Amino acid sequence: MADDTPTTAPEGAPELSETARSVRDAYAFDGARIHLGALIEDLAANEPNPAVPVHLSLPMLNRHGLIAGATGTGKTRTLQVVAEQVAAAGTPVFVADMKGDLSGIAVPGEDTPAIRERAAARGQQWQPRAGTTEFYSLGGQGPGVPIRTTVSDFGPVLLSKVLGLNATQESSLGLIVHYADTHGLGLLDLKDLRALIQFLTADDEGKKELKALGGVSSATAGVILRELTAFEASGADVFFGEPAFDTADLLRTAPDGTGIVSCLELPAVATRPALFSTFMMWLLADLYQDLPEVGDTDRPKLVFFFDEAHLLFADASKAFLEQVTQTVRLIRSKGVGIVFVTQTPKDVPADVLAQLGNRVQHALRAYTPDDAKALRATARTFPTSAYDLESVLTSLPTGAAVVTVMSEEGAPTPVAVTAVRAPESSMAPCPAETMTALIQASPLQARYGEMIDRESAYEILAARDRAAAQPAAPAPARPEQGGNPYDVPASDPGRASSRPRAERPRASRKDEGGLLDNPAVTSFLRSAGTVLGREITRSLFGTRRRR
């Protein structure tokens, strides 16, 4: 990506102060860089100096970042400014669009005198530009290619967070999912999970099966089922099922070499914040387990913007927070950068905050004692500087921010009060007709657009119940008596087994007489489309490791 920011002061410009020179030198990275804006040295005059550009090192984006600020201070536009430049540099971008105002990244910005004036004041050679954009939706709720996953892929840890379960209930849900993993029962959607819970906790045979693993109390099972019912009633069942989304599709680039901007449209699920935030954590966990180790590279493989990040951590268990921290810490070596977007740094747990090397902090308000406490805590998260940050953070105008980023040597840069540059894509939402055309033209729409419902745990257990309700069939005649040596009548050769009964493998002793002796189950296990494997291994987040 061509850098449009000045490297020297314009002819006739006043000589830079010592502070301005130190900022210019600290933010003048040699490698690929993102232009954030220009230094505001005189806070009273509030005039940016275009001769002192403030940059963000693109390779250091995998050290993660934080964009914070009170409502209306410009953090969404800062997100847009960074995202469009990262994509233009050839790195794919994922953004979550909570309010619909980020969708304009797919449309060139409007060329007006005001935007030209703002850009010039920040040393920016502005030109209207749109990113190649793919729109997604959760489960088809709203416009976009549907993103779904199976219950088995999602895993018990994240599902417990969505359902609001406590530690005991989470452990019990993990036990139930483990039973499905080890018995080849596909948990594709929520009705599969419901059917399995009912079988293991209400059916005599199921209770025996589960008791061998430790058992689940009826009270705990009742809580899980009630939360599952409420979850389904909210319409969230559409997020689980097939075809399951392959997160490798987020790593694509456009034919012109720019990164594709994957924009997840979320206004339709704004009333279920825990769902979308946890679903985004699943995307990260899935990427982590699939991507190879790459170490430090000249640019990230993907930059992931996590908007409304405080919703991920609200009411989270200690175990969940530990796993988020570990994912953030380790995914850096996979070439993925994460930028959390929220109101104050205190919205992010300290252990996660410590991993965020790039900081862009917009204005904060201090109307209440809690606000004042958050302000003081925010000021202490920045390196020592000559600024009175508590005063600066309450007086910043819209579109200005306090910045410190990671240098190419891995050290924090000096604090710089920055006037953020203007987005080159539209700051208005993408028109509905334009978005519809982009979605319909997407090659992913044909792959993920229609939901399918294959045979899985629900169908297997329902078949078992039907078989149990029927009278037992007479035993087949033995071969030496002239009978058919196969499992089914010769009149139905299409269903005949390929080997006589005497040669067919039996279930292991631990499964003998259990669920695996059911013909419907063995049929399921023979189906390559629905078998998940004799035993599924899971990642640190409880998500399924695909083989």
Rounded to an integer, what distance in angstroms lies between the CA atom of residue 525 and that of residue 517? 11
> What's the pLDDT score for residue 150?
93
Amino acid identity at 378: T
Are 538 and 544 in contact by the 8 Å Cβ rule? The answer is yes
Q: What is the pLDDT along the chain (547 residues), one digit of tens a residue?
A: 446 665 555 555 678 899 899 999 999 999 999 999 999 988 888 899 999 999 999 999 999 999 999 999 999 999 999 999 999 999 999 998 888 889 999 999 999 999 999 999 999 999 999 999 999 999 888 899 999 999 999 999 889 888 889 888 999 999 999 889 888 889 999 999 999 998 888 888 878 877 777 778 888 888 999 999 988 887 788 889 999 999 999 999 999 999 999 999 887 776 777 777 788 888 888 888 889 998 788 999 999 998 888 888 877 777 778 888 888 999 999 999 999 999 999 899 999 999 999 999 999 988 888 889 989 999 988 988 888 999 999 999 999 999 999 999 999 999 999 999 999 999 999 999 999 999 999 999 999 999 998 889 989 888 888 887 777 666 665 555 444 443 444 444 333 333 333 333 333 434 444 554 544 444 444 333 344 444 566 766 677 765 4
CATH architecture of 18-132+254-441: 3-Layer(aba) Sandwich (3.40)
Q: What's the start-to-end Cα distance of the chain, in Å?
A: 37
DSSP characters over 170-226: HHHHHHHHHHHHHTT----SHHHHHHHHHHHHHSHHHHHHHHTTT---HHHHHHHHH
Q: What long-range pairs does 373-378 form, CB within 8 A, spacing at least 24?
A: 374/344, 374/346, 377/344, 377/345, 377/346, 378/68, 378/344, 378/345, 378/346
The crossing angle, in degrees rounded to 10, of helices 457-469 and 519-526 is 150
Q: So what's the pLDDT on residue 536? A: 65
Domain map (residue ranges) of the chain: 18-132+254-441, 147-245+509-547
Give the pLDDT of residue 109.
Answer: 96
Per the CB < 8 A criterion, the answer to whether 182 and 534 are in contact is yes
- Tell me if 289 sits within 8 A of 77, measured CB to CB: no
Report helix, strand or coil for 418: strand
Q: Which residues 6+ apart lie within 8 Å of 496 measured at CB?
A: 486, 487, 488, 490
Burial letters for 326-337: b for 16+ Cβ neighbours within 10 Å, e otherwise?
A: ebbeebbebbbb
Closest CA relative to residue 525, chosen from 538, 511, 539? 511
Q: How many residues does the chain have?
A: 547
Dihedral sign for Cα atoms in the order 146, 149, 154, 156? positive
| Strand duo 400-404 + 93-97: pairing | unpaired
Q: In this predicted structure, what is the pLDDT of residue 483?
A: 45
Task: Give the helix, strand, coil percentages of the chain, each rounded to 5.
Answer: 45, 15, 40
Which DSSP string corresponds to 432-490? Answer: HHHHHHHHHH-HHHHHHSS-B--S-HHHHHHHHHHHHHSPPPPPPPPGGGT---SSS-T
Radius of gyration over every alpha carbon of the chain, rounded to an integer in angstroms: 28
The pair of three-digit structure tokens given for residue 514, joined into one six-digit string: 């259990």
CB 281 within 8 A of CB 158: yes
532-535: long-range contacts, CB 8 A cutoff, minimum separation 24: 532/152, 532/181, 532/184, 532/186, 533/181, 533/184, 534/182, 534/184, 535/181, 535/182
Phi then psi for residue 157, to 5 deg, are -65, -50
Structure tokens at 245: 């989304």
